Structure 1
């Protein structure tokens, strides 16, 4: 599990570097090739498989699968293989938020309620105080009950909870 976390962190770091424009010493294609090589190496040494898409300026630069879908399986990973995201979605959400903060489009202390028109908190006063910083650091002090109430008002399907 630790090697999977390191692998995910490495991929996200490379993608953030490419997206933020800080990779000035290498072209976008060089970064894509390096990422492809890096994932190939990770699949041969520490993870059973991965599916990767790299999109640069709306253009698909890399779309491929690596390895197998499950340890001990012979099912090859393709670019359309589905994997459970689990907690990795938190990393992507915080990485995307970091890019927006870096571009000064939002602030860590931005209140989220104005952006969530379909969300209703059971305690509106508590909900109105929630910021991006709170959500991303798990310090909002929201319990599960208000969140489930919010999701029900948005007509979320049970498939999201699998």
Structure 2
């Protein structure tokens, strides 16, 4: 699934607070909600499209072996939950957390994902995705290589 990341930016808050996601975008405003109070993003699928996503530019240096972790409300399977990471080289150089990540269902409809990065470089964008069904995933506690992402 492709996503567009156009003209957006993320600014550093502080080392203790991570990175504040600002001026991010969504594939469809009707299917993506960001809740800054609870620091969550809910992405609903849509059978009429290839799915939906919430995306932001970043500038996070990473080394192969670093981890990406996040919590979710939803189910494991079918390519969800997942976070797509775009590297310096653009979309073709990206990694998806579901490719070799571990999705652990803690209780029905809740869980965590842990993914080990395969390459080094700079993560220039990320997208939280729910593919083409009518379900949804709520993302929280996204940490990319030790950098907490605040929505």
Instruction: Specify if TM > 0.5.
Output: no
Between structure 1 and structure 2, the one with the greater Rg is 1
Tell which has more relative contact order, 1 or 2 (C-alpha 8 A, sep 6+).
2
Higher strand residue share: 2
Bigger helix fraction: 1
TM-score, scaled to structure 1: 0.25
What TM-score do the two structures reach when normalised by structure 2?
0.26
